[in-house]
Amino acid sequence: MSDALSAFGNDPWWVIGLKALLIFVILVLLTLFNIWWERRVVARMQHRIGPNVHGPFGLLQSLADGVKLAFKEDLIPKAADKVVFVLAPVIVVVPAFVTFSVIPFGPEVNFFGHQTPLQLTDMPVAVLFVMAIASIGIYGIVLGGWSSGSTYSLLGGLRSSAQMISYEVAMGLALVAVFMYAGSMSTSDIVAAQDNLWFGLILLPSFIIYSIAMVGETNRAPFDLPEAEGELVGGFHTEYSSLKFALFFLAEYINMATVSALATTLFLGGWRAPFWIDEFWAGANEGYWPVLWFFGKVLFFIFIFIWLRGSLPRLRYDQFMAFGWKRLIPISLVWIVAVATMRVARNEGVFDEGFGSNPQFWLIVIGVLLAVLLLTFFLPEKDADEVAPTSAAPRTGGFPVPPMPAGGAVRGAAAPLVFRSEADREVSNG
């Protein structure tokens, strides 16, 4: 067992209980703040005011919405499987809280007279524990969509399961490089391994792939296909109301905080001070100051979530699946091979003294090239107007269909109606 793991398991029961209670309270308050912050940021992006009535700066608007949901009528559809319908929101929200149990908030501190790390617990496979527990929450979404007895809800649940399979694979492969480089799956060990340089810089492709996959894992725009209101009314939670809908809502925002906290822990140095402030401030990584650095990084990722929602339209489902299977997963596999090769080469002493002797240098170079390859997916495709139009042969007895515009036709110009058969012409002349 590493020195970091030896610090756990020695706390009295009241310290463990108080830590668990603080995590619960922090996540609930963070959810209320994130809802308000999302509304304010999107309002500013769209030149609106946003919530500003309830409380100072509208900070109590989220609390008012929670009370409103609690007093709404709780409906259960007649065709629903009532037991599963009620349990599904609980299955979603409980894992969202549990995953925060292995996230490190800071170093060892004096906690009411007891020396303890600012982390509920840790284990040798802590990151795998987070991914396993987070996967359970997907079952709640699938079961909620299936038990509603609604076609739209069922389609949303099926989309969620396909989305979880696609992007959970990419996320897991992105984390393999972190495990190999840190030599551990413990969250506290991974934070300690980033003492000199963050993994977000050394393992840039893993950082980018994880950042994209975590948006898909949380069903957030532009990857919010399971709850696409333009196609599925409300998606998997169409038939839910009152507190059951509030639990789905709460789970979504806690999952945003969870994946942001995991990204902070694995790629941005965790609770360590940003920009290497500790080099000229000795106490930057001591006491309760690291809690401030940790939540600052988490809020940075949540701002990215909000920015994406206010900027990008929803992807088509085929584009979404193709991006996961044809871009993220192959690039993740190539990157894992590159990281493993560099680690073996370093252990075997392949690198000589001189320029380029540092394996981190070559990892950064390869990582930048793969990151550029990944980002080429977002380049604009060829304009549809440049594609030669194709026209189908007239079909006997068909409906009147306007012709495809010619290559030099003016966009928006009215085209004469072409009839596919003489019978259609007679019907039109009536």
Query: Is residue 80 a contact partner of residue 247, using CB atoms and an 8 Å limit?
Result: no
pLDDT band at 357 (very low <50, low <70, confident <90, very high): low
CA neighbours closer than 13 Å in the CB half-sphere of residue 140: 25
What gap in Å lies between CA 284 and CA 297, rounded to an integer?
Answer: 15
Across the chain, what does the average pLDDT equal?
82
* Extents of the domains making up the chain: 5-274+284-378
Strand pairing class (106-111; 114-118): antiparallel
194 contacts: CB under 8 Å, gap ≥ 6: 182, 269, 270, 272
CA neighbours closer than 13 Å in the CB half-sphere of residue 199: 29
Query: Is residue 23 a contact partner of residue 101, using CB atoms and an 8 Å limit?
Result: yes
CB atoms within 10 A of CB 156: 29
280 contacts: CB under 8 Å, gap ≥ 6: none
Name the helix (H) or strand (E) containing 81: none
Query: Is residue 228 a contact partner of residue 192, using CB atoms and an 8 Å limit?
Result: no
Angle, to 10 degrees, between the axis of helix 151-182 and the axis of helix 204-217? 160
pLDDT band at 262 (very low <50, low <70, confident <90, very high): very high
pLDDT of residue 315: 81
What gap in Å lies between CA 296 and CA 293, rounded to an integer?
Answer: 5
Q: What is the mean pLDDT of residues 51-58?
A: 89
pLDDT in tens, 376-389: 766 656 554 555 55
Asked if residue 200 has pLDDT above 80, the reply is yes
pLDDT of residue 411: 44
205 contacts: CB under 8 Å, gap ≥ 6: 174, 177, 331, 332, 335, 367, 370, 371, 374
Q: What is the mean pLDDT of residues 340-345?
A: 82
pLDDT of residue 402: 65
What gap in Å lies between CA 359 and CA 351, rounded to an integer?
Answer: 7
pLDDT in tens, 156-185: 888 888 888 888 888 989 999 899 888 889
Most confident of 74-88, 227-241, 361-375: 74-88
Asked if residue 316 has pLDDT above 70, the reply is yes
Asked which of 23-32, 73-82, 300-309 is least confident by mean pLDDT, the reply is 73-82
pLDDT of residue 406: 56
pLDDT band at 285 (very low <50, low <70, confident <90, very high): confident
Three-class SS state of 242: helix
- Residue 5 or residue 78, greater confidence: 78
Asked if residue 352 has pLDDT above 90, the reply is no
Q: What single-letter DSSP state applies at residue 352?
A: P
For residue 388, which amino acid is it? A
